Structure 1
Amino acid sequence: MTRVKKGINALKTRKNILRKVKGFRYGRSTKERQANEAIVHAGTYAFEHRKDRKGDFRRLWNVRLSAALKENGISYSKFIPLLKKANILLDRKILAEIALKQPDILKKILETVSQSKAQK
């Protein structure tokens, strides 16, 4: 079997690894083995947190919407079922955006919901 020298390939690999860990602290940014380990963990955390982000935003929308609804004298837990009964198909993301940027429109939605509550 012929001898294979890794020279250029090893340097390329090392360079790519160290490029990915630029800005990391201590040996994780300079030492190949620690850098490799850091890349693996960083990828795992990134994957987990991409999934977590969805729930984080949903919780944020709920809190924002709840705060806006309290100002208008109704609780979040009472509002959501009324919204479903009134057949209004706005999701929490859109409602939170409306509550934040256009509170007058949220009041109109509340009026619509309360009217449908009175009718049924």
Structure 2
Amino acid sequence: MARVKRGVTSHARHKKVLKLARGYRERNRTVFRVALEKVEKALQYAYRDRRAKKRNFRGLWIQRINAGVRQHGMTYSQFMNGIKHAGIDLDRKVLADLAVREPDAFKVIVDEAQSALAKAVPAAQSSTAQSSPAEVG
């Protein structure tokens, strides 16, 4: 059986890790053992934060929509319910962008949501009033 020398493989692996550790300070970028720990931890942070970024942006979009909607006398939850009843199929990212960059277009959507909500709410109230039993005194 032939002898296997692994110097080339380990050197390539070390180079790969040290390349990922560029920009770190002191021994964190020059010593392989330390750099390996730091690079692994950095990759864990990157994995976690790619998922956290999605949550953070959704929260930001909701805040922007809420701020834009409150200028027109509605709350975020009322607005979302209204656009659902109106059949407007825009996601939060687009709605937030409209609220910030196109306030006039956003106002049209808010008005549509208000009118759809006004039509939907009386129908819901009348159906619950009929189905509730009369109070016995």
Which TM-score band (shorter chain)? 0.7 to 0.9
Aligned to 2:22: 22
CA distance in 2, matches of 1:108, 1:35: 55
Q: In angstroms, what is the RMSD of aligned CA positions?
A: 1.8
Aligned to 1:110: 110
- Deviation track 1:28-73 (CA, whole Å, cap 9, x = no partner) reads 1111101111111111111111111111110010011111112222
Larger radius of gyration: 2
Q: Aligned runs of 1:4-83 on 2, under 5 Å?
A: 5-83=5-83
Q: What is the CA distance between 1:117 and its match in structure 2?
A: 2.4
- Identity across matched positions, percent: 36
Displacement over 3 Å in runs of 4+? 1-10
Q: What is the CA distance between 1:119 and its match in structure 2?
A: 2.9
The normalised TM-score by structure 1 is: 0.88
CA distance in 2, matches of 1:14, 1:119: 67
Q: What is the CA distance between 1:87 and its match in structure 2?
A: 1.7
Structure 2's unaligned 5+ residue stretches are 121-137
Number of corresponding residues: 120
CA distance in 2, matches of 1:25, 1:83: 52
CA distance in 2, matches of 1:109, 1:69: 10
